[in-house]
Amino acid sequence: MDFKENPAIYIQIAEYVCEQILLKKWNLGEKIISIRELAILMEVNPNTVQRAYDFLQQREIITNKRGVGYFTEDDAMERILSFRREQFMENELPVFMRNIYLLKIDFKEIKILFDQFVKDNFKNQ
């Protein structure tokens, strides 16, 4: 995975886990990929994934069933949406807004592009 400079890598991994849940690739209440497997997939140190999983546990998005593995919480969806919105508002939206202003892009044009993006990428949802 290509990581951005900000936020911290463990936060980006937490965002990835949340995205898998939001996209329903990982179902609520079910076991998720192990720390070691995700570290290999992300090409990071397992300690970094552990930090991401600890962060998600603190936010009650995942839980550790000792000796069995990590599972998504049954009622994690609202907490995931809250976390992802917070991250988007803090990290991505300011850059997006600055570019809209500097490039003098009209919101109507953005709406058209957004609608097309949703149509092209999320047909089944």
Average pLDDT of every residue of the chain: 93
Q: How far apart are CA 114 and CA 96, in angstroms?
A: 13
Average pLDDT (29-42) is: 95
Lowest-confidence segment of 31-45, 49-63, 84-98 by average pLDDT: 84-98
Query: Which residue range forms the structural domain that includes residue 54?
Result: 1-125
Q: What is the pTM of this model?
A: 0.78
pLDDT of residue 80: 94
CATH number, domain at 108?
A: 1.10.10.10
Phi, psi of 70 (to 5 degrees): -100, 140
The larger pLDDT score, comparing residue 81 to residue 1, is at 81
- Overall number of domains in the chain: 1
Tell me the pLDDT band of 124, cut-offs 50, 70 and 90. low
Tell me what the mean pLDDT of segment 91-119 comes to: 94
pLDDT in tens, 50-70: 999 999 999 999 999 999 999
1 band by pLDDT with thresholds 50, 70 and 90: confident
Region 39-56: what's the mean pLDDT?
Answer: 96
